[in-house]
Amino acid sequence: MRRFLDEDLSGAEFRECDLSRTRMVGVVMQDAEIDGLVTGLVVNGVDVMPYVEAELDRRHPVRLLMRSDRPEDLLEAWRRLRDDWAATVERVRSMPDGSEHRSVDGEWSTVETLRHLVFVHDSWARRCVLGRTEPFTSLGLGPADVMDREPELDPSARPSLDEVLAVREAQASEVQQWLAAATPDLLERVAPVPGDDRWPPYARGRTVRRCLGTVLEEEWAHHGFCVRDLDRISRQDPPAP
């Protein structure tokens, strides 16, 4: 266990770090920001996560649909997520040229975020929910170690917004058609993950519902990250008088 005593960590950035079971005692934390998988967070003796989750549900009612086990609710959640992305794409198109490729604080740009969701679809929807074995889409963007191990993925790809959107549209149709015909029994079956060693290897044994949940969560979470960064870009580039 690493122990920090009387350290000045102001302005520090922790990225892709596992802070599970971290204890902070007598700390000063002002104007801090936490994004990630956070559960059981206790602040001054209060478990704050139920309040955070309730507020997120209030702001984003689609989350309630995403947690449902009813196919019709999941289909409605998918439609709302797609509508949110469509509105955000239109916002990007209205911004100065090149905004879709701008990165904020080292995060993915809008195009890179959409490329990651192409990869998520290939991984969790096509392979795990549908059980298909087509090659990964070359412009998909995954973690660095996956980009190295999956030969179809092209780390040097620099697609345009429209090129990524064309792939996304075809993928979205696959999910929507599948959900329109899904049944509760189908959702509870073991996911038909192909028996090869392709990504994601740890999906075997999970239910179809759980794999689909990963797709929905990724769509929702990365849309939020994208909107957050577009807001920052807009603040950096105020409209001309």
User: At the top level of CATH, which class does the domain 60-236 belong to?
Assistant: mainly alpha
Answer for the pair 227, 141: CB distance below 8 angstroms, yes or no: no
**Which tens digit of pLDDT belongs to each residue from 174-232?**
999 999 999 999 999 999 999 998 999 889 999 999 999 999 999 999 999 999 999 99
pTM of the full structure: 0.90
Check residue 241 and give its pLDDT. 52
**Which tens digit of pLDDT belongs to each residue from 33-90?**
888 888 999 999 999 999 999 999 999 999 999 999 999 999 999 999 999 999 999 9
- Long-range interactions of 180-187: CB distance < 8 A, separation 24+: 180/75, 182/71, 182/74, 182/75, 183/71, 184/69, 184/70, 184/71, 186/71, 187/69, 187/71, 187/74, 187/212
